């Protein structure tokens, strides 16, 4: 292995420590701590793990977490009513609704209902639009976390060739906008890309966010490239794997994120950062 490992867990801990210092300073000055409402509908095992991690991160960062665990049968109208109450709650600075949602609830309706000033996931069209206009407010947590990881290794992004594999509204598209904002030349690859191998092979930076294990082959990686693997996939034998074929990619890359321990912890840390920023903006 020749690539240097980008330790997302360590960077995330640093960020949460900084946030804790800021929230402790608020409390010492007699001000309230930031508040985050975490809403979960149903009891999907993966969602329970994610929500538990987010609530634990709130404790570490000195942020007040308000739990709203709803039954799987909750109607869209009931969920929207709760969001309406949280939008007007002066003690709540951020609202997070854990995805996926049950089939009777439309994610777009839920995302649109959240006050953009409390949209700490960064999914609201207003916040995505601000990013597209190069005037970001609250930013999508995973792409925001990737940018902080790149900053942590001193990556110079202006003018480089960046390839984002995956075009979802949660990661791929906002990731491309973040990289454009940093001055990179960005190509977004998706299911209709004709020659994925050729696109990846010319990239100085590859961000893989497609949700398919080992979709990006290690042999495609340009020598010395930075590889950011957003994917986290459970294999048949229970092991976790990213979207990038790790060992052969690490033999060619200059820097690479592991799975787990790379981007995942950063997503949660940037949720805490967004909650603090939402508090400060309000």
The catalytically annotated residue of 16, 98, 215, 222 is 98
CB-based burial label for 31 (10 Å; 0-12, 13-18, 19+): exposed
How far CA 50 is from CA of 54, 139, 194, 216, in Å, comes to 6, 19, 35, 25
What one-character-per-residue DSSP string does 194-250 give? S-HHHHHHT-SEEEE-SS-TT-B-GGGSPTT-EEEE---EE-TTS-EE-SB-HHHHH
The catalytically annotated residue of 16, 54, 215, 222 is 54
**54 catalytic, yes or no?**
yes
**93 catalytic, yes or no?**
no
Answer whether 40's CB lies under 8 Å from 47's CB. Answer: yes
The b-or-e profile of 161-174 (16+ CB within 10 A means b, else e) is bbbbbbbeebbbbb
**119 catalytic, yes or no?**
no
Helix (H) or strand (E) run with residue 65 in it: strand 64-70
The catalytically annotated residue of 16, 93, 119, 121 is 121
**Beta-carbon neighbour count of residue 133 at 10 Å?**
9
How far CA 256 is from CA of 8, 231, 259, 265, in Å, comes to 10, 13, 10, 15
Distance CA 161, CA 163 (A): 7
Q: Provide the annotated active-site residues.
A: 54, 98, 121
């Amino acid at each position: 292995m020749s690539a240097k490992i980008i330790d997302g867990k360590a960077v995330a801990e640093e960020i949460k420590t900084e946030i804790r210092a800021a929230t402790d300073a608020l409390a010492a000055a007699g001000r309230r701590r930031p508040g985050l409402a975490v809403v979960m509908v149903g009891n999907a095992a993966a969602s329970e793990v994610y929500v538990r991690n987010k609530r634990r991160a709130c404790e570490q960062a000195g942020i007040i977490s308000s739990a709203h665990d709803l039954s799987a049968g909750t109607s869209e109208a009931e969920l929207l009513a709760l969001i309406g109450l949280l939008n007007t709650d002066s003690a709540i600075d951020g609202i997070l609704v854990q995805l996926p949602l049950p089939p009777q609830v439309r994610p777009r309706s839920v995302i649109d209902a959240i006050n953009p000033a409390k949209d700490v996931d960064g999914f609201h069209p207003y916040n995505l639009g601000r990013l597209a206009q190069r005037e970001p407010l609250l930013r999508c947590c995973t792409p925001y976390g990737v940018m902080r990881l790149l900053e942590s290794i001193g990556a110079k992004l202006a003018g480089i060739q960046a390839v984002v594999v995956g075009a979802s509204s949660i990661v791929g598209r906002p990731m491309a906008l973040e990289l454009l904002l940093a001055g990179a030349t960005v190509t977004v690859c998706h299911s209709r890309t004709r020659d994925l191998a050729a696109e990846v092979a010319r990239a100085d930076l590859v961000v893989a966010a497609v949700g398919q294990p080992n979709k990006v082959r290690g042999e495609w990686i340009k020598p010395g490239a930075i590889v950011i693997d957003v994917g986290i996939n459970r294999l048949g034998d229970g092991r976790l794997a990213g979207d990038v074929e790790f060992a052969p990619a690490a033999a060619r890359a200059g820097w690479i994120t592991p799975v787990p321990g790379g981007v995942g912890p950063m997503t949660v840390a940037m949720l805490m950062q967004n909650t603090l920023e939402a508090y400060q903006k309000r």
